[in-house]
A and B are shown apart, each in its own frame.
Chain A
Amino acid sequence: MEDNEEDDYMNMIIAEPARSEKETSIQRTARKRREARERGFHKTKQEREADAAAARDAALSTSLNTSNKGFKMMAKLGYKPGTTLGKAEHARIEPIGVVIKENRGGIGHDSEKKRKIRGELEEAAKRVKVEEVGYRERVRQEREEKRVGGQLVGAQKIAEGLDMEADQDAAAEEDDGTTKDSSRVPLNKRPLGSINVLWRGLIKSRLEKDVERRMRADMQQSLSRLPTYDNPTEEQEDRDAYAKKQTANEFVEEDLFDEDAELNEFQELDAGERLDKVVMYLRKTYHYCFWCKHRYENTEMEGCPGLTEEEHD
C-alpha cells in the first residue's frame, strides 16, 4: 500500500508555495474594522434563530465524506461509498431526517395547511393569468368596438346621404327633373319601417335623442309640469295654454316604440358585420368605397385596393 503510494508520483500533489502566514498591517486594519463592524451590528433574535436553523439545515443536508476517518476504516472492510451496511435488502442509506415540531398542530394539520396554501397559491396564480389576458383583451375589444362603431355610424351616414340623393334624383326624374317636389317627405323623415334597414338604426337613435331632447325642453317649458301630467278637471283653455297638443312627431314616436324585428335582427349582428354589410351595400349600389372615401364611376371600381380596411392600409 505504502509502496504504491510512493511509486505513484504522477498523482503527487505539489503543494502551493506557502503564503506568508503573517498578515500585513493593511490586512490587519481591514480585519479589525470588519470585526468591529460585526461586533457593532447586533442581529435580532429572529435573525439569530433563523441563522441557527439555516446552519442546522445546511449541516443536516451535508453527508459525511470520504475524508472521514471512520470511512477509511470502513473502506478497509470493503465498504464502497453509496452502498448500505449489513445484509438486509432495504437498508438505509441516508440517516433519518430531523424534523422539529414548532407548534401543536395535530397530525395532518401542517400538511393540510401546506396543501391548502399551495392550492390557494396555484389558484391565485391561475386567476391572475386569466385576468391579465382578460383585461388586455377586453380593453382591446372595447377599443375595437368603439372604433368599428364609429366607422359604422360614418358608413350609415354616407348610406343615408346617398340613399336620399338617389331618392330625390328618382323623384326629380319622375317629375321630369324640372321641379323638386317640396311636399315629398325626405327619406329620413318617413316612417321607420320604410327606411333602409342598414341605416334605420341611425335614424332611430337620432329620433330617440330628438324625442328625449324635446321632452326635456317640454319639461322646462311646461312650468314644472311633467308632460304626462294629465288632470281631467283641467280646463281646455289651460290645456291649450300649456300647449298640450298632439304634434306630428308623435306618429314617429309611436313608431319608435313598435317592435321592429327586421332592425333587431340587424342590430344583433356585431358591429363589424354590420359595417361590412353597409360597406358592401355602398359598393354595390353606389360604387362607393367606404375605405377610399370615393365614389367610383363603375362597378369595376378601378383603383380600389380591396374590400377590407386592411387592404387600404
Chain B
Amino acid sequence: MADDGRGAKRQKTSGAEMDPKANPYLAHHYEEESNGYSNGYSNGFSRSKKASSTVFDNLIRHQTSSKDAEVAENGPNNAFTGQPLSNRYFNILKGRRNLPVHTQRQEFLDMFQKSQILVFVGETGSGKTTQIPQFVLFDDMPQLQGKMVACTQPRRVAAMSVAQRVANEMDVPLGEEVGYSIRFEDKTSPRTILKYMTDGMLLREAMTDNNLSRYSCLILDEAHERTLATDILMGLLKEVARRRPDLKIVIMSATLDAQKFQKYFKIGEDPAPLLAVPGRTHPVEIFYTAEPERDYVEAALRTVLQIHATEPEGDILLFLTGEEEIEDACRKIGLEADELVREADAGPLKVYPLYGTLPPAQQQRIFDPAPPPHKPGGRPGRKCIVSTNIAETSLTIDGIVYVVDPGFSKQKVYNPRIRVESLLVSPISKASAQQRAGRAGRTRPGKCFRLYTEGAFKKELIEQTYPEILRSNLSMTVLQLKKLGIDDLVHFDLMDPPAPETLMRALEELNYLACLDDEGELTHLGRLAAEFPLDPSIGVMLISSPEFYCSNEMLSLTALLSVPQLFNRPASARKRADEMKELFAHPDGDHLTMLNVYHAFKGPEAQRDPKQWCHDHFLSYRALQQADNVRSQLKRIMEREDLELMSTPFEDKKYYENIRRALVSGFFMQVAKRDGSGKTYITVKDDQSVLLHPSTVLAQEAEWVVYNEFVLTTKNYIRTVTAVKAEWLLDIAPMYYNIEDFKQGEIRRSLQKTADTLRRKEALKAGKSRK
C-alpha cells in the first residue's frame, strides 16, 4: 500500500520514536491505551503527540459547527501546530472573516457533513479557493486520519501562489502543513495536511493509487474551466466515490453552470447538493458596437484611447490574443497616449502587457499603481493592461473599471482527422464574455466595451467554451486512463465525451507506439511510458533511447522540448539574434541545435555567469533553467525505472546520427517528405502540404524530416524539424511504415525504392558471407 511508506516517514520526521504505538496503522492495536479518544472515533485514527493537546480533542469529526471552528481559529495557539499565533495571523484573520464565504460557513458545514459530494458555486472574489479548504480542515481533521485534503488548480502558478497565501493565513511555513505539488516540483512534507496541486498532478497520483487513499477530502477548484485533467478526474472520482464512501468530494466552480455539475454527480436520482455564495461584485454596464468591426485590433486601440480621453478615473483591461499582438498594441497605445497628453491634456497612461510566457518580474508589474497626474491637480493617470485570457479568470487585478473585449482568444484545437493540435484565434464563448465583463466590477461599478454588436453576441458566440477534452489529442490521456485501471474507454462516463474519432486516433497512435497491443491492452512499454509526465511519443522516445546509445542526450532534448520558447528574437534585434542562433546551428536540424544550446549552457564558460551568457546569446535563461529542472526530474524517473543513462562518445561519427535515429523512435508519426519540386513538404499518411517554419536552421535539401509541431495558420508550417533517412523509418517503425498501407504516390514510391535498395544490400551481404 502506498501509504505505508508515507506513514512511516511522517512519524520519523515529526520526531516521534519508532514505537509501534506511534504508528498510525497499528493504532487500533493499542486502542484501550490511547487516551483522549473519548470523543467517539476509534479504529484507524491516530495523531502525533505534538498535536494531541489541540482544540480538536473536544470536537467530533464531521459534527463541528462554524462556531467551533471560529473558536479554534481565535487561538491563542495554532490549532494544527500548537504554536502561538502571530500578529500577522490575526490581521489576516480579520480580513478573512469579511469574505463572502465566511457568512455561509455553517451552511457549508451542514451540507458538507450530510453529503459525500457537494457542488459549490462562488463567483471570483468570494474567497472560496483559500477559505473552503480551511473550512474543510477544521471539520475533516485529516491530521487525525493520517490523511490529507487536496485542492486542485488548473494552473501551476495558481497552485503555488494560493498555497503560499493559505500558508500565511494558517500561520505555517509553506511546504509544512500547507504545501503544493506541481509537475516537476513537490513542496510538501510528511506534516502536510492541505495540499494545493495541479489537477494533472492529482491524476498522476491516481495512477499509482487508484483509490486516492492518501486523501480524506478532494476539492476540485475552478471546475468550470474544464481542463482535460479536471474532466478526467471528475470521471474518475465518480467511480472512486462509489468505492470509498468515506471520501468527501467538493466541486468548486465560478459560473452558474452548476446544474451540469449537480446532474453529473447525482447521488442516486437526486442531483448533488449545491451551495452558492455570491461574489463581491459591482454592476457592470455593457456597451456593444453598432456595426461589426472591420479590424478588431484597431478598434480595440481606438476604444482604449477613447476611454482614456473621455472616461473618469479607473484602469483599463484590454483582451487580445497573443504575445505579438499584445506587444504591438502596447507600443501603439503608448505612442498615441503620448500624443493625447500633448494635444488634449489627457492624464498619463501606463501600458503593461500580460501573457503566459512573460517573465514573472514583468508580470508582477501589472500590480503597480496607476501613475500620478502630470502636475498636482492635473487629470489623474491610469494604467492599461493588455492581456491574453489569463486575466479572464486566473489573475485578479484590482482597480480595473473598464474592460475592452474584442471577443477573441487563442484556443487550442485538435482535429484527429489531420492529427493537428494548434492554437488558433477563435471567438470566445458567451460565458467567457461575461467573465471578462465581470473583471470591470471588482472595485466599483464598471463598464465593458464589447467590440461587436449585440446581435453578434447572441448569434455568433457559443454558450460555453468547449472543454479541453474536446480540443485535445487524447493519446496521453488514454494511456493514463489505462493506467488508472479504466478499461472500458468507450463507456467511461465523462461529462462531455469527445468525438469517437478522437479516441480512435489516440488508440491507433498508442498501438503504433507499441504502448497498447492489438487488443487494446497496456504493454510493458505502455506501462513504462505512462510513468513519464510526457506525451507518449516523447515518453517512448526516451525509453528507447538507450537502444541508440544516447539516453543522456535524449533526456536533455526531452526536457528542452517540454519548456517554452528557448530562443529570444526581440523585434529590435532580430538580425543579431539570428546570428547568435547560427552559432549553435546544426545543419541536420533544430533538435540537434537545441541540444547544442543546452550543452553550451552547461559548459564552464556559460556557467560562470549563466544569466549574462543567455542574455548575450539571445536565449531564455528561464527556459533553460526550467529545462534543467525538468531534466533532473525525468532523470529520477529514468533511474527509478532502471533505464540506462549513456552517451555515444562525442568523437564518434555516429554521435548525432544516433540521436536522430532515437528521434525517429518517438516521432515516426510526425514525418514529412519533401515534395519533388522544392520548398513544400508532404506529411506522411495525412498528405498535408506544409512548409518548414521560417525559424528552422535546417538546410533545404533534407528529403525526410521529423517535426515536433504542426502549426496551423493561413499557411501550414512544421516547426522544430530534423532530417532523417527513409531507411531508418522502415527499420525503426516497420509497423507504421508498412508500404502496403500507403496509397500510391511519391511517398510510397520513395519508400519502396528504399526498401528495394535495403533488400539488395542484404542479399549482397548474405552472398558475401556465404563465400
Binding site for B on A (CB under 8 A): 35, 38-39, 42, 48-49, 51-52, 55-56, 59-64, 68-74, 76-79, 83-88, 91-109, 111-112
- Given contacts A74-B504, A95-B415, A96-B470, whether A104 and B296 have CB atoms under 8 Å apart is yes
- Given contacts A83-B500, A86-B497, A92-B499, whether A104 and B417 have CB atoms under 8 Å apart is no
Question: Do B511 and A73 have beta carbons less than 8 Å apart?
Answer: yes
- Given contacts A51-B689, A59-B688, A108-B459, whether A101 and B425 have CB atoms under 8 Å apart is yes
Question: Do B418 and A106 have beta carbons less than 8 Å apart?
Answer: no
New A-B pairs, 17, CB < 8 Å, besides A64-B505, A83-B500, A84-B497:
A39-B677, A60-B418, A69-B511, A69-B518, A77-B489, A85-B497, A86-B491, A86-B493, A87-B493, A95-B414, A96-B413, A97-B415, A98-B413, A98-B424, A102-B714, A105-B296, A107-B457
- Tell me which of B188-196, B287-295, B543-551, B594-602 binds A: B287-295
Chain B, Cβ-Cβ closest to A95: B499
Confirm or deny: B582 has a beta carbon within 8 angstroms of a beta carbon on chain A: no
Question: Do B498 and A78 have beta carbons less than 8 Å apart?
Answer: no
Confirm or deny: B198 has a beta carbon within 8 angstroms of a beta carbon on chain A: no
- Given contacts A88-B495, A92-B498, whether A108 and B456 have CB atoms under 8 Å apart is yes
Chain A, Cβ-Cβ closest to B520: A73
Confirm or deny: B508 has a beta carbon within 8 angstroms of a beta carbon on chain A: yes
Question: Do A59 and B714 have beta carbons less than 8 Å apart?
Answer: no
Question: Do A39 and B292 have beta carbons less than 8 Å apart?
Answer: no
Confirm or deny: B731 has a beta carbon within 8 angstroms of a beta carbon on chain A: no
Q: Which residues of B contact A92 (CB under 8 A)?
A: 470, 496-499
Question: Do B452 and A85 have beta carbons less than 8 Å apart?
Answer: no
Most buried by A among B451, B501, B690, B716: B501
Confirm or deny: B676 has a beta carbon within 8 angstroms of a beta carbon on chain A: yes
- Given contacts A52-B716, A79-B500, A108-B460, whether A70 and B508 have CB atoms under 8 Å apart is yes
Could you pull out 30 A-B pairs where Cβ atoms are within 8 angstroms?
A39-B677, A55-B688, A59-B686, A60-B417, A64-B416, A64-B417, A64-B504, A69-B507, A70-B508, A73-B516, A73-B518, A74-B503, A77-B489, A77-B491, A77-B520, A84-B500, A85-B503, A86-B494, A87-B491, A93-B499, A95-B498, A95-B501, A96-B471, A104-B294, A106-B292, A106-B293, A107-B292, A107-B296, A107-B406, A108-B292
Taken together as a complex, chains A and B put the C-alpha atoms of A99 and B305 apart, in Å, by 31
- Given contacts A77-B491, A86-B492, A95-B417, whether A106 and B406 have CB atoms under 8 Å apart is yes
Taken together as a complex, chains A and B put the C-alpha atoms of A42 and B679 apart, in Å, by 11
- Given contacts A92-B497, A106-B452, whether A99 and B505 have CB atoms under 8 Å apart is no
Q: Which residues of B contact A112 (CB under 8 A)?
A: 291-292, 456
Question: Do A98 and B499 have beta carbons less than 8 Å apart?
Answer: no
- Given contacts A48-B689, A105-B295, whether A56 and B716 have CB atoms under 8 Å apart is yes
State the Cβ distance, B403 to closest chain A Cβ, in Å.
15
Q: Which residues of A contact B505 (CB under 8 A)?
A: 64, 68, 70
Question: Do A93 and B500 have beta carbons less than 8 Å apart?
Answer: yes
Confirm or deny: B4 has a beta carbon within 8 angstroms of a beta carbon on chain A: no
Question: Do B292 and A104 have beta carbons less than 8 Å apart?
Answer: no
Q: Which residues of B contact A84 (CB under 8 A)?
A: 497, 500
Question: Do A73 and B497 have beta carbons less than 8 Å apart?
Answer: no
Question: Do A69 and B689 have beta carbons less than 8 Å apart?
Answer: no
Please list the 6 inter-chain residue pairs (A to B) with the smallest Cβ-Cβ separation, ordered nearest first. A108-B456, A106-B293, A86-B497, A70-B507, A107-B452, A70-B504
Question: Do A107 and B408 have beta carbons less than 8 Å apart?
Answer: yes
Q: Which residues of B contact A63 (CB under 8 A)?
A: 417, 501
Taken together as a complex, chains A and B put the C-alpha atoms of A48 and B677 apart, in Å, by 12
Taken together as a complex, chains A and B put the C-alpha atoms of A86 and B494 apart, in Å, by 6
Taken together as a complex, chains A and B put the C-alpha atoms of A175 and B289 apart, in Å, by 96
Chain B, Cβ-Cβ closest to A39: B677
Confirm or deny: B89 has a beta carbon within 8 angstroms of a beta carbon on chain A: no
Q: Which residues of A contact B299 (CB under 8 A)?
A: 106
- Given contacts A77-B488, A98-B424, whether A107 and B451 have CB atoms under 8 Å apart is yes
Question: Do A106 and B497 have beta carbons less than 8 Å apart?
Answer: no
Count of A-B contacts with CB under 8 A? Answer: 206
State the Cβ distance, B9 to closest chain A Cβ, in Å.
39
Confirm or deny: B19 has a beta carbon within 8 angstroms of a beta carbon on chain A: no
Question: Do B507 and A73 have beta carbons less than 8 Å apart?
Answer: yes
Taken together as a complex, chains A and B put the C-alpha atoms of A160 and B294 apart, in Å, by 74
Q: Mark B468-505, 1 if CB is under 8 A from A, else 0.
A: 00110000000000000001111111111111111111
- Given contacts A107-B427, A108-B453, whether A42 and B491 have CB atoms under 8 Å apart is no
Q: Which residues of B contact A69 (CB under 8 A)?
A: 507-508, 511-512, 518
Confirm or deny: B310 has a beta carbon within 8 angstroms of a beta carbon on chain A: no
Chain B, Cβ-Cβ closest to A77: B490
Chain A, Cβ-Cβ closest to B715: A49
Confirm or deny: B552 has a beta carbon within 8 angstroms of a beta carbon on chain A: no
Confirm or deny: B712 has a beta carbon within 8 angstroms of a beta carbon on chain A: yes
- Given contacts A78-B490, A106-B295, A107-B407, whether A100 and B470 have CB atoms under 8 Å apart is no
Taken together as a complex, chains A and B put the C-alpha atoms of A106 and B416 apart, in Å, by 29
Question: Do A56 and B418 have beta carbons less than 8 Å apart?
Answer: yes
State the Cβ distance, B235 to closest chain A Cβ, in Å.
8
Q: Which residues of A contact B689 (CB under 8 A)?
A: 48, 51-52, 55-56
Q: Mark B14-52, 1 if CB is under 8 A from A, else 0.
A: 000000000000000000000000000000000000000
Question: Do B418 and A59 have beta carbons less than 8 Å apart?
Answer: yes
* A104 in complex: contacting residue of B298, B415, B455, B466, CB < 8 Å: B298
Q: Which residues of A contact B452 (CB under 8 A)?
A: 106-108
- Considering only residues 655-713 of chain B, those with a C-beta below 8 Å from chain A are 676-678, 680, 686-690, 712-713
State the Cβ distance, A203 to closest chain B Cβ, in Å.
66
State the Cβ distance, A102 to closest chain B Cβ, in Å.
5
Q: Which residues of B contact A55 (CB under 8 A)?
A: 687-689
- Given contacts A77-B490, A93-B500, A94-B499, whether A106 and B296 have CB atoms under 8 Å apart is yes
Taken together as a complex, chains A and B put the C-alpha atoms of A83 and B501 apart, in Å, by 11
Question: Do B713 and A100 have beta carbons less than 8 Å apart?
Answer: yes
- Given contacts A77-B491, A108-B456, whether A88 and B496 have CB atoms under 8 Å apart is yes
Confirm or deny: B341 has a beta carbon within 8 angstroms of a beta carbon on chain A: no
Confirm or deny: B519 has a beta carbon within 8 angstroms of a beta carbon on chain A: yes
Q: Which residues of B contact A103 (CB under 8 A)?
A: 295
